[in-house]
């Protein structure tokens, strides 16, 4: 096998075959006699065993530990989600009941404020406000909701309303978007521009608001504590300043029925209302048509048990 050696005199490198090892000859560089030496061989490297602790910190072990960490995080997360889901499932009926109760109580608070405003108006003018003010031709112009604005603390809105023009004139239409929150059921406040009132009067023969004109509180023969003044409805059609109410002759006695001639529809199981004495009540969904009519009429002399209409 050829190998390279260096002349010890002139340091010239020469390649010779191993078969000439030990023989003498003249250097091809300087001509001096030299003896071909044994080729220098590189000793086999010493392979040292790798300590086990070096293997434990290698890339493979790091990957395993990372996977274990991810598995722990996923397991903990799934466990928390499962616990939350089970807890929500267990307490959902109670939470739903509390939400329904909260909404109905807020609705009753609105009704009480409206009833107070109506009664204050009656003190100043001798009777409750007319449900609607018509012009000389009989065209509906203004709603009772506009008339009681000062008694609800809405003096600025009332001052900007033009009673010389109908409710939907160019000027008055600009005020529709400023519907007072007291006119909107908490269940219906699903848009920032909500302007449909959920509270109406029941008008017509036999009611507090007959065709001959609204009664005074003292003219309610059945007593203010036994006669409805305002009821809530599901309304997605009429604006708050628009003259609209329930006509007693067209009343749908099914609580929560579709349409604006039915009481309720915003709360499950019944409806909210307020009596002429300012007390808010809960009308159960299974109330009989006869009993419902009896609390609407102002002089029917029907016996009424107030405990029937206590909170839901």
pLDDT digits (tens, 9 = 90+) for 216-237: 999 999 999 999 999 999 988 8
Look at 113 and 51; give whichever has higher pLDDT: 113
pLDDT digits (tens, 9 = 90+) for 171-218: 999 999 999 999 999 877 654 457 899 999 999 999 999 999 999 999
Instruction: Quickly list DSSP for 5-72.
Output: EE-TTT--EEEEEGGGTT-EEE-TTT--EEEPPPPP-PPPPP-PPPPHHHHHTSHHHHHHHHHHHHHH
Pairing of strands 140-143, 132-134: antiparallel
Look at 240 and 82; give whichever has higher pLDDT: 240
29, two tokens: 């560089």
Predicted pLDDT of residue 112: 97
Neighbours of 173 (CB within 10 A): 14
pLDDT digits (tens, 9 = 90+) for 262-312: 999 999 999 999 999 999 999 999 999 999 999 999 987 776 766 666 654
C-beta of residue 8 within 8 angstroms of C-beta of residue 36: no
Q: Band of the pLDDT at 96, cuts 50, 70, 90?
A: very low
Task: Catalogue the long-range contacts made by 119-127 (C-beta closer than 8 Å, 24 or more residues apart).
Answer: 119/217, 119/276, 119/278, 120/151, 121/147, 121/148, 121/151, 122/216, 122/217, 126/216, 127/213, 127/214, 127/215, 127/216, 127/219
- In the beta sheet, which residues pair with residue 271? 283
Of the ranges 100-104, 156-160, 282-286, which is most confident?
156-160
User: What pTM value is reported for the model?
Assistant: 0.68
Predicted pLDDT of residue 93: 52
Is the pLDDT at 7 greater than 70, yes or no?
yes
């Amino acid at each position: 096998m050829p190998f390279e050696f260096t002349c010890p005199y002139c340091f010239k490198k020469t390649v010779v075959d191993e078969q000439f090892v030990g023989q003498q000859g003249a250097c091809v560089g300087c001509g001096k006699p030299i003896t071909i030496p044994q080729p220098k061989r590189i000793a086999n490297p010493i392979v040292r065993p790798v300590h086990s602790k070096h293997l434990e910190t290698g890339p493979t072990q790091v990957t395993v530990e990372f996977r274990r960490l991810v598995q722990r995080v996923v397991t903990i997360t799934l466990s928390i989600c499962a616990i939350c889901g089970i807890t929500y499932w267990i307490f959902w009926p109670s939470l739903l009941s509390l939400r329904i109760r909260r909404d109905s109580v807020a609705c009753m608070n609105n009704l009480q404020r409206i009833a107070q405003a109506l009664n204050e108006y009656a003190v100043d003018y001798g009777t409750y406000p007319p449900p609607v003010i018509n012009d000389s031709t009989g065209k509906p112009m203004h709603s009772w909701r506009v008339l009681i604005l000062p008694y609800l603390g809405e003096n600025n809105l009332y001052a900007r309303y033009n009673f010389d023009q109908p409710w939907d004139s160019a000027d008055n239409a600009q005020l529709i978007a400023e519907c007072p929150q007291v006119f909107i059921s908490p269940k219906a406040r699903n848009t920032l521009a909500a302007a449909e009132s959920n509270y109406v009067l029941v008008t017509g023969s036999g009611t507090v608001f007959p065709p001959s004109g609204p009664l005074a509180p003292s003219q309610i023969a059945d007593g203010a504590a036994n006669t409805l003044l305002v009821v809530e409805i599901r309304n997605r059609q009429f604006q708050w300043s628009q003259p609209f109410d329930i006509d007693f002759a067209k009343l749908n006695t099914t609580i929560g029925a579709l349409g604006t001639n039915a009481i309720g529809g915003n709360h499950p199981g019944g409806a909210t209302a307020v009596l002429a004495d300012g007390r808010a009540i809960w009308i159960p969904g299974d109330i009989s048509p006869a009993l419902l009519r009896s609390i609407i009429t102002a002089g029917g002399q029907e016996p009424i048990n107030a405990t029937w209409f206590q909170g839901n």
